């Protein structure tokens, strides 16, 4: 199984938002932080907004933020949102031209396997991926203040910091 670039960019974008939870992030800053094209990222941001993962703000001082706390965003739900419309195999698609259609027993097994994949990611939250992860914050924090605040937060809670 291979995830699409859009799903990968969506998760990275949400990570940037989670690391920089105290500010509105801009598309250009995210594109630079995650090494992505702004045009491609615009499509991902649009879908994240329509799906309720982020809140977008228009205008000169616009950008986007997480629509809810990172601890409430399931990685499985993000993956389903971005991958669900893409058939895993030809027999899952509307334009199935496989000559085995109707007699092959493999599609049922694959359906269960794909669902098991998403189900295994449901309990993983965005918060779990970013909290007290110094290495990630060093890459995704858009300013030094964010890094300092995060380090203080982790020390206060006695949470081990991942390097």
Alpha helices in the chain (DSSP H): 5-19, 27-34, 38-50, 75-83, 106-121, 126-130, 134-140, 144-156
Question: Does residue 147 have a pLDDT over 80?
Answer: no
What is the reported pTM?
A: 0.84
The 10s digit of each residue's pLDDT in 60-108 is 888 999 999 999 999 999 999 998 776 666 666 677 777 877 788 887 8
Q: Which comes out higher in pLDDT, residue 150 or 142?
A: 142
Q: Which comes out higher in pLDDT, residue 30 or 147?
A: 30
Bridge partners (DSSP) listed for residue 133: 162
Q: Give the structural domain span for 51.
A: 5-128
Q: Which of 65, 159, 17 is nearest to 151 (CA)?
A: 159
In a domain, 148, yes or no: no
Q: Domain with 107 in it: what CATH number?
A: 1.10.10.10
In a domain, 159, yes or no: no
In a domain, 151, yes or no: no
Domain count, the chain: 1
- pLDDT value, residue 88: 65
What value does the mean pLDDT of the chain take?
Answer: 86
What is the mean pLDDT of the segment spanning 38-65?
Answer: 94
Q: Which of 116, 141, 114 is nearest to 33 (CA)?
A: 141
């Amino acid at each position: 199984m291979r995830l699409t670039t859009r799903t990968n960019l969506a998760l990275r974008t949400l990570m940037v938002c989670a690391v920089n939870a105290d500010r509105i992030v801009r598309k250009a800053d995210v594109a630079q932080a995650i090494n992505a094209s702004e045009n491609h990222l615009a499509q991902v941001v649009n879908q994240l907004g329509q799906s309720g993962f982020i809140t977008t703000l228009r205008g000169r001082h616009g950008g986007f933020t997480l629509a809810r706390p990172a601890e409430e965003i399931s990685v499985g739900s993000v993956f389903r949102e971005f991958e669900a419309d893409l058939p895993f195999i030809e027999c899952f698609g509307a334009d199935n031209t496989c000559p085995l259609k109707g007699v092959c027993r493999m599609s049922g097994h694959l359906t269960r396997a794909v669902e098991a994949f998403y189900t295994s990611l449901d309990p993983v939250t965005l918060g779990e991926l970013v909290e007290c992860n110094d290495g990630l914050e060093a890459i995704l924090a858009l300013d030094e203040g964010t890094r300092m605040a995060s380090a203080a937060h982790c020390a206060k809670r006695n949470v081990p910091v991942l390097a």
